Structure 1
């Protein structure tokens, strides 16, 4: 049995529990025998973000299978080296759904420049702030290490709002109920 299951951060809603905002729920689930797992960082930044570079040669078009979203792409030598997907703002809040740089193009400022272009595009659509989610794999050096991604977003002025957690009921009998005094 799950509580606050989190299938993906790429859906329209937030399925995970923002634990920092609901510490009582987090504690109650753990007391009830649920194992919690921190999965995503929820971050935001006000717009505009001055000082960020912009990528050259960015093409903008609709994002396939993303509804009212736009895809920004940087191509070099006839192939895509970086892409970002942004969501149209709702009440001034735009979403950076993802940003990705080809492994061979990393370490050259492409991610920072594309981030600047994506945030500029959100601003052009009327956003006054941007939000994003970063899957929070805590295994440095692993295939899904997000150290560089987190460093990029933080250096661009994004601040963590909360962590999103999901919970799974541990197998076995439930823990004994605690009496209130």
Structure 2
């Protein structure tokens, strides 16, 4: 469960595993929306390809590592991971529109999960939103959801976002 500092809301509540909390929030006037899949996979995942050339740097927001794939100086794909004690977090993975359809997302995911394993993670989690507005292809998470399912991530719960308007 996580809440932002500057809102009257709860950004991510695992609704399936916290039904009593959900009912209390709704009774107190909060409105919930089903926004994210909370997913899990054991590491290592050995069947995945890796990108041939990937730059890895430390990042602060979120804390962890950033993986970048560039071609001719142009950013094609990126991922951000956050290793913690035994559990890795895939914070973000994205492939530019021009680079999609070439298997780069799968290979970058393989590199990110391999790096998490190398940093000592034995399992990993991620959140993927699937609340894309209709007709907005840039926010369509269908390919990402398909990728995570195909690789062996399992949905642990659905995360709901709760807000309350004064």
Give the TM bin, normalised by the shorter chain.
0.7 to 0.9
Q: CA deviation at 1:82?
A: 0.6
Counterpart of 2:156 in structure 1 is 161
Matched, 1:124 2:118: yes
Counterpart of 1:85 in structure 2 is 80
CA contact (8 A) 1:5 1:166 kept: no
Secondary structure class of the residue paired with 1:40: strand
Out of 43, 48, 51, the residue aligned to residue 44 of structure 2 is 48
CA contact (8 A) 1:6 1:166 kept: no
Distance 2:108 2:60 in 1: 19
Out of 25, 46, 54, the residue aligned to residue 21 of structure 2 is 25
Out of 148, 151, 160, the residue aligned to residue 143 of structure 2 is 148
Give unpaired runs (5+ residues) of structure 2. none
Counterpart of 2:67 in structure 1 is 72
Distance 2:139 2:4 in 1: 17
CA contact (8 A) 1:140 1:147 kept: no
CA contact (8 A) 2:94 2:105 kept: yes
Q: CA deviation at 1:86?
A: 0.9
CA contact (8 A) 2:11 2:162 kept: no
Distance 2:21 2:146 in 1: 30
> Structure 1 residues 136, 51: CA separation in 2 closer, same or farther (over 3 Å shift)?
same
Q: CA deviation at 1:33?
A: 3.7
TM-score by length of 1: 0.79
Give unpaired runs (5+ residues) of structure 1. 9-13, 172-181
Q: How many correspondences in the alignment?
A: 161
Q: CA deviation at 1:94?
A: 0.6
Root mean square deviation, CA, Å: 2.2
> Structure 1 residues 65, 29: CA separation in 2 closer, same or farther (over 3 Å shift)?
closer
TM-score by length of 2: 0.86
Matched, 1:37 2:30: no
